[in-house]
Chains A and B, each alone.
Chain A
Amino acid sequence: MSHLHVLGAGPAVTVQDRGRPGFLDRGLSQGGAADPLALAEGAALLGQSPDCAALELAGMGGRFRADRDLRIALTGAPMPAEIDGKPLVWSASHLLRAGAVLAIGAARTGSYGYLHLGGGIATPQVLGSRAAHLAAGLGQGLQPGDRLPLGSDAGADAGMGTGMRLLVEDRFSGGDIRILPGMQTPLFPAEVRARFETTEFRRGARANRMGMALESAGPGFAAAGQRSILSEVITPGDIQMTGDGRPFVLLPECQPTGGYPRIGTVIPADMAKVAQTPAGARLRFAFVTRAEAMAAQARHAAHLAALPTQVEPLLRDPHMMHDLLSYQLIGGVISATEEDVP
């Protein structure tokens, strides 16, 4: 079997796929790629199933070598990447020759980059998924010296090439996020809800695959009766207020239940944008109606379905290359999130 060899890795390079749905009643959240859209983009670029696992590069990439010719795709947070010193365009597919070294640096913006491999990653599935779920103790960050077994690449065998790209909207610098009111929204006084919508937040430094802190000037956002709320189901996208009324957006590895009140829930269509927001970038939240959220969901589903048709040949434009290399580097910061412990 052929392998991808890890020569060097950032602090949080993990195998990710669409995660493990179906274990909420056993206390295990779905997990999976922090930016599921990036997973679908990589699958489209390589013409393979979005169920294929990829490497998620949190903040920082790594150095890799394959022992066979390997189709790869790079998606998500743009990172400087090169093969044997030759720069690569992001959101594109490339051929990594056997023995050549692929080097991926720190995110220029955004938080999570992805390295997709033709045929996916053939590590054993645990509970139906290959994804590391760090909070649950499943899998771990890759280390230099690790070898990942490569799946057989039916696409390459069928003559599918590389040198394709996808034009993607910027979802890597924060911005406006749509949220739905939920069952605990009424616990927040109208004044607090209004202030939440008008507040400009910055993504805090405390962030990982469980959730990310939001920071703002001024008072916190406390709910009425905050201390006596029964622990209830929580879901990725929930914006919970920790004890001091500071908001935390929950991400795919969040606990399945929790006792902090939630002011609202990010709509699924905006989850990739939230997860990709780099430390220090601005975020603003606005309540939308259920009808608006449903319309956004339908557009999101249509966008995902259309991705394979939007792949186009990569034009090797030196101006674009120059732009890519001129971005300012922003380091990803990964640290412990505030936990809601029993």
Chain B
Amino acid sequence: MTAAQMRTGISFPAIRPVGLTGLLVSFSDRLEEPANRAALAFRAAVEAAAWPGVEETSTSLASSYLRFDPLILSPEALTERLRALLSTRDWRAAPLPPGRRLFRVPTLYGTDLAPQLAEAAAEAGLSPEAAIADLGATRVRVLTIGFAPGQPYLGELGTAWDLPRQSALTARVPAGALVLAVRQLTLFTAPAPTGWRHVGQTRFRCFRPEAPDPFPLSPGDEMIFAPVSRADYDRLGDVTDHGLRIEEIAG
């Protein structure tokens, strides 16, 4: 019996219903890199299969989701197809889907614009300088997008960053805030309350409804939050794309 089965009695991968019109294919009940990889790869395979009746797919941290029309494709028939597809390979070892991009985002850590950097560093047992060096050098993956349009959940950070949520919510962080908890980062689309710690501030816009590419980020993309000085952060306010650099990820 696996650790997950011990916790929940469910063996993975698991196919479970979400209402009448959804099925969720889960590869774990907790965030772990191979499960996120499996969710991304499996979802890409479902998209490629283009089964009539499947209306939409997405991924969450460790699952692939399918929304379908049960009057066109019965849940039983779809479950059968999913089982067959699951059995074709070890999805936890599958390559990530092609077409992914790497985003380098100039980030101001600490200062009054990101006031919880020092506190988070102390919780992680690091000096503020070491924390900035570590976070600024870590290449994180868009594990999923949620909470608000285009808003990424990113990870996985090193074990030192397994910080619990704050017991009290911060009333409001601004758009572009980089916040941290449970070995993950999220980058806020819009001002919001949060239980995570506000460690960095960016000028990245996660949702641009007026732009040709309204949602710059896709699940599977990667990001680097490169540290910049306060002077550089201020200067980038007037620069096109605020110093953002995007490149294709090979292979």
Contact = CB atoms under 8 A, between A and B. Distances in A.
A268 B21 contact: yes
Contacts of A144: none
Contact of B20 (A21, A23, A137, A265): A265
Contacts of B207: 27, 136-137
Contacts of A21: 55-56, 67
Nearest to A136: B149
Interface in B51-70: 55-63, 65, 67, 70
A237 B19 contact: yes
Interface stretch (B123-131, B186-194, B226-234): B186-194
Contact of A235 (B19, B61, B181): B19
B20 A297 contact: yes
A342 B17 contact: no
Contact of B149 (A28, A183, A237, A297): A28
Interface residues on A, range: 35 or more
A93 to B, nearest CB: 29
A230 B62 contact: yes
Interface string A251-262: 000011110000
Interface stretch (B22-30, B107-115, B133-141): B22-30
Nearest to B214: A127
Interface in A42-65: none
Given A25-B145, A257-B147, A342-B179, A231 B18 contact: no
Interface string B152-192: 01000000000000000100000000010100001001101
A179 to B, nearest CB: 9
B81 interface: no
A111 B143 CA distance: 38
Given A232-B24, A297-B70, A27 B146 contact: yes
B193 A339 contact: yes
Contact of B58 (A24, A181, A267, A341): A24
B190 A180 contact: no
B193 A180 contact: no
B195 interface: yes
Contacts of B74: 294
Contacts of B65: 24, 233
Nearest to B57: A25
A183 B24 contact: yes
Interface string B72-85: 00110000000000
B20 A180 contact: yes
B218 interface: yes
Nearest to B185: A342
Interface string B192-210: 1111100000000001010
Contacts of A301: 71
Interface in A269-294: 290, 293-294
B149 A290 contact: no
Residue in B20, B22, B153 with the greatest tally of chain A CB atoms within 10 Å: B20
Nearest to A133: B149
Given A27-B145, A127-B209, A183-B18, A290 B75 contact: yes
7 contacts: A25-B145, A27-B189, A136-B148, A255-B147, A339-B193, A341-B169, A342-B147
Interface of B: 16-22, 24, 26, 28-31, 43, 55-63, 65, 67, 70-71, 74-75, 144-151, 153, 169, 179, 181, 186, 189-190, 192-196, 207, 209, 214-215, 217-219
Interface of A: 21-28, 126-127, 135-138, 180-183, 230-233, 235, 237-238, 255-258, 265-268, 290, 293-294, 297-298, 301, 339, 341-342
A-B interface, 8 closest residue pairs, ranked by CB to CB distance from nearest: A257-B146, A183-B16, A265-B19, A25-B58, A26-B215, A24-B58, A27-B145, A28-B149
